[in-house]
Amino acid sequence: MERIRPGRPRRAGRLAALALGLSLVLSACGGSAKPAGSSTTPASSGSAGQGATAAASTIKIGVLHMLSGPYALYGKYGSQGIQMAVDEVNAQGGILGRKVEVKVEDENGGTSHAVSSMRDLIQNWGAQFIVGVDSSGDALALVDVAKQLKTPMIVTHAATPKITGQLWNPYVFRVTTNSRSDAWAAAYIAAKMPITKWAGINPDYEYGHSSWQDFSSKLKELRPDVQFVDEEYAPAGAQDFSSYIAKVLQSGAQGVFSVEWAGDLVTFIRQAKGFGFFDKIQAFMDPVGAAIAVARPLGKEYPNGLWVSARYYFLAHDTPANNQFVQNYYSRYHEYPDYVSHEGYKAVYMLKKAIEAAGSTQADAVIQQLEGMCIDAPEGRDCIRAQDHQMFKDLVWGRSQYSDQYGMAVMTDMQVIPAAQVTYPPENKR
């Protein structure tokens, strides 16, 4: 049974003044805490940092994010969240008394480049853990690198269900929702609309294809009367969406689902407005359309009334922990945290908890602690499912509305799709 609760936006300018330095409250849902032991990282089988001489004095986290091209803002925001958490951890004395060091590599450049960068971080720089990864296409290859080099990889963005499904291996964790949950949440919203004809415009790779399949199949289950009249796929980094926009308009679609993101979504929206696209359809939905990496570049160009979401939204959680996180982030970077900022920030604190519970950076010991772990993150309590290392959580959707206060479109009329409605059984063959 569907359950949608009303959300409540909050003015960040009214955030209470709070002390700097976030102290997350962490707890373990699964796995037992272990006595502190050696924190050295030998380059032996089953150890993080395989193939490299990891410095015993520091704990090294390699980061992969898109730092260039149309997805560069995602890399910037994701890296900022990770660095803020690392600086807080180091200010608190580090992990097991050791400082944490981060090195960020640009993931942009194709899957072979991403694989090479991850190998370099682990084998040459000595990364004991990998955090980040934006592209689902890259993630499909990187999960095998993590397994080969026996290095835990905490995915904070790439959303294909396959990496915690059929391609899962014990070294892979994802601390954000995946594209299936996003698509199912969209379907629950769409099912309530008086719309029977839907079309899709999505990226022509794993993320776009799997998202459309999950959205259309779930919506059909909820609303057997709907028809899917067109599905279009544009290449990543597309500069011209006009042919796809024209085909969808000609299809007679009343509603359009899309997972275009970052610079591609910015380009699409600008070109679609030239066709009067948003005036000719009744609803447009994008599970990551509320990303600040989209809202900020578009500014007043962002159409009002689109149905959008993000895997974390800075205005959606009126709690002391989230208000403090937003204020600390804004004070440091002079902008609001995007969802990738929050997920990267959370990943660092989850690693801290797991390493401290294991008493070691040894990969297998840390993996055992991460399985089933819960964290009281800024957005609320999040848990990693032990069976497949996937995190499920409530998803917030709303309508886009430009705000003079924030200088960008923000979500209004927010609704929460509970995690229970977007959770599915483990798919891996563990």
pLDDT in tens, 313-364: 999 999 999 999 999 999 999 999 999 999 999 999 999 999 999 999 999 9
How much of the chain is helix, strand and coil, in % rounded to 5? 40, 20, 40
Going by C-alpha positions, the residue among 67, 95, 18, 55 that lies closest to residue 349 is 95
Write out the E strands in 312-407. 373-377, 380-383, 395-403
- Is residue 169 within 8 A of residue 177, CB to CB? The reply is no
**What pLDDT is stored for residue 430 in this prediction?**
62
User: What pLDDT score does 429 carry?
Assistant: 61
d(CA 395, CA 376): 16
Instruction: Give the pairing type, strands 153-155 and 172-174.
Output: parallel
β-partners of residue 61 are 102, 129
State phi, psi for 105 to the nearest 5 degrees.
-115, 145
| Cβ-defined contacts of 291-294 (< 8 Å, 24+) | 291/74, 291/261, 291/262, 291/338, 291/339, 291/340, 292/73, 292/77, 292/335, 292/336, 292/337, 292/338, 292/408, 293/73, 293/74, 293/77, 293/262, 293/338, 293/340, 294/261, 294/262, 294/265, 294/266, 294/269
> What pLDDT is recorded for position 35?
30
- Identity of the residue numbered 267: T
DSSP E strand stretches across 150-204: 153-155, 172-174, 197-203
Which strands, in side-by-side order, build the sheet including 99-106?
Answer: 99-106, 58-65, 129-132, 153-155, 172-174
**C-alpha closest to that of 9 among 306, 317, 285:** 317
Q: Phi and psi (nearest 5°) for 41? A: -125, 80
Write out the chain's pLDDT in tens, 430 residues: 333 333 333 443 333 333 333 334 333 333 333 333 333 333 333 444 444 444 458 999 999 999 999 899 999 999 999 999 999 999 999 999 999 999 999 999 999 999 999 999 999 999 999 999 999 999 999 999 999 999 999 999 999 999 999 999 999 999 999 999 999 999 999 999 999 999 999 999 989 999 999 999 999 999 999 999 999 999 999 999 999 999 999 999 999 999 999 999 999 999 999 999 999 999 999 999 999 999 999 999 999 999 999 999 999 999 999 999 999 999 999 999 999 999 999 999 999 999 999 999 999 999 999 999 999 999 999 999 999 999 999 999 999 999 999 999 999 999 999 999 999 999 876 6
SS3 of 64, please?
A: strand
Query: Which amino acid is residue 87, in one-letter code?
Result: D
Radius of gyration of the chain (CA): 21
Amino acid making up residue 50: Q
Pairwise CA distance, residues 368 & 32, whole Å: 9
What count of residues does the chain have? Answer: 430
Q: What is the rounded CA–CA span in Å between residue 194 and residue 166?
A: 36
Q: How far, in Å, CA of 36 to CA of 315, rounded? A: 39
Q: Which two tokens stand for residue 232?
A: 């279009």
